[in-house]
Structure 1
Amino acid sequence: MLEPSGPLPPEIYQRRRMLALGVAVVAVIVLVLIVTSLRGGGDDKASAEAVAASSSLTSTTASASTSVTEGSGSESSGTAAQASGSAAPVAGSVSGSAVPAGQCPDNSLAIKASSDQPNYPAGTEPSFGIVVTNIGNAPCDRDLGAGMQQVMVYTLDGQKRLWSNTDCFPNTAPDVRTLKPGEQAAFTVKWSGATSEPGCTAQRNPVGPGAYTVVGQLGALRSTPEPFNLG
């Protein structure tokens, strides 16, 4: 090391050099800390962006897979008819027996249930209708026999089935219809207003006044509930 020279004592120059060296070391340390902090902040930001992107993807996937999805008779034989036209019944398919080979698949049909009036006075027998529509692009056959189609009455919340037209009056006779695209097959059934269970072994009791729903079903294809009232 060079010896300090000047008018001041050598110790003064050595102290100044030590002080300058210390300042330089501190400056280097501060610079290192600043660079490290900047890099860390970038990593945190990138991590945050990655987490946000992951959350967005999860949300989108959940929404896309949400399904919905939303659902699930007669005392006397009803009348049946076929009519051409474009209808827009709302229906959904649920698990059930497979459709026989060669017949219309469930996704080419729609089913709608309805009541002939929204309110029925006490003692009146409600009349319900089912309309099956070919919503596909080609003609196809489907068994629309009474054993394949049902009309059911549920409580308004859909938690309890009160009656079905096939409980006490089952009919397994086939009724294969050829439906063209847009063509409909309509059926009507009446309800005595009493409860029933499959096999008709339980006591049948009158259903009291209140709000209920009627649901139509063809094989595994089920309509949306249609509300009605009993007086």
Structure 2
Amino acid sequence: MSTIKHPVGPQSNKVYWRRRLVVLLGLLAVIVVIVLIVVGPGRSAEAEKPASDPGSSAAPSTGQTPTATGAGGACAPGSVSVEAVTDEGDYAADQEPALSLVVTNTGPAACSLNVGTAAQVFTIKSGSDVYWTSTDCQTDSSNVPFELQPGVPVKSSAPIVWDRTRSDPGTCDSGERESAPAEGASYHLTVTVDGVTSTTSKQFILN
């Protein structure tokens, strides 16, 4: 009688059949792995290869070099508004004003504006007297083209702190500057970004 169909041994037939089943499943798994190794890479490369590269011959419709955030054309004159912003309206004697700006694309389409520090000018006046200009002692300025979406206000990421002194290029190294008058003195901040100046100034008080 065949020992394949009727195993001979001290244990029951079910035990031997279970062992053979485990061996057969192991052999089947090895065969599957071999097939995947031989066939897999070729089929995978075939599946991942695109039928065509639609972007290889595409070019910006404006004919301009894309900005850091998109391919919109430069903002047209009159299509951008600039707002001067301060963190407070009234400052105590130990407080220094933090100056910011907000730019908004008022046009119908996205456009690019240089919002880097090289294109920003903060000016503080009291009456007709210019007390401080951000570019007087500016260093390490940068150009940052930024795509403005229509109707979306964009605020400067980090404010500029005014030390309440009169700026002068001749005092950049010495650091000896005249303090701005306080005790209720009124000042006005205007901001220019890439040639666009805020239409109104931001008033604040130094105490």
Matched, 1:185 2:160: no
Looking at CA atoms only, which structure, 1 or 2, has the larger radius of gyration? 1
Identity %: 27
The one of 79, 93, 98 equivalent to 1:127 is 98
Matched, 1:106 2:81: no
Counterpart residue type for residue 190 of structure 2: V
Counterpart residue type for residue 228 of structure 1: F
The one of 189, 192, 200 equivalent to 1:217 is 192
Contact 2:104 2:151 in 1 (8 A): yes
- Paired position in structure 2 for 1:47: none
What is the aligned-residue RMSD (CA, Å)? 1.8
Matches within 5 A, 1:6-21: none
Q: Distance in 2 between matches of 1:142 and 1:229?
A: 31
- Deviation (angstroms), 1:184: 2.3
Contact 1:106 1:220 in 2 (8 A): no
Contact 1:121 1:230 in 2 (8 A): yes
Q: Distance in 2 between matches of 1:105 and 1:189?
A: 27
Q: Distance in 1 between matches of 2:85 and 2:102?
A: 9
- Deviation (angstroms), 1:214: 0.8
- Deviation (angstroms), 1:142: 1.0
Deviating 4+ runs (over 4 angstroms): 198-203
Contact 1:213 1:226 in 2 (8 A): yes
Note the alpha carbon deviations across 1:53-72, whole angstroms, 9 max, x for none: xxxxxxxxxxxxxxxxxxxx
- Paired position in structure 2 for 1:227: 203
Contact 2:115 2:194 in 1 (8 A): no
Change (3 A) 1:199 1:180: farther
SS at match of 1:141: strand
Decide which structure has greater helix share.
1
Q: Distance in 1 between matches of 2:196 and 2:136?
A: 18
In structure 2, the gaps of 5 or more residues are 1-72
- Deviation (angstroms), 1:166: 1.9
Note the alpha carbon deviations across 1:152-180, whole angstroms, 9 max, x for none: 1101x2x1211122211234311110111
Note the alpha carbon deviations across 1:38-58, whole angstroms, 9 max, x for none: xxxxxxxxxxxxxxxxxxxxx
- Deviation (angstroms), 1:200: 4.8
The TM-score with structure 2 as length reference comes to 0.57
- Paired position in structure 2 for 1:169: 138
The TM-score with structure 1 as length reference comes to 0.52
Note the alpha carbon deviations across 1:7-32, whole angstroms, 9 max, x for none: xxxxxxxxxxxxxxxxxxxxxxxxxx
SS at match of 1:207: coil
Q: Distance in 1 between matches of 2:131 and 2:181?
A: 11
Counterpart residue type for residue 181 of structure 2: G
Counterpart residue type for residue 213 of structure 1: H
Contact 2:137 2:169 in 1 (8 A): yes
Counterpart residue type for residue 115 of structure 1: T
Counterpart residue type for residue 179 of structure 1: L
Contact 1:104 1:140 in 2 (8 A): yes
Number of matched pairs: 128
Q: Distance in 2 between matches of 1:172 and 1:191?
A: 17
Note the alpha carbon deviations across 1:68-120, whole angstroms, 9 max, x for none: xxxxxxxxxxxxxxxxxxxxxxxxxxxxxxxxxx4212311000002111110
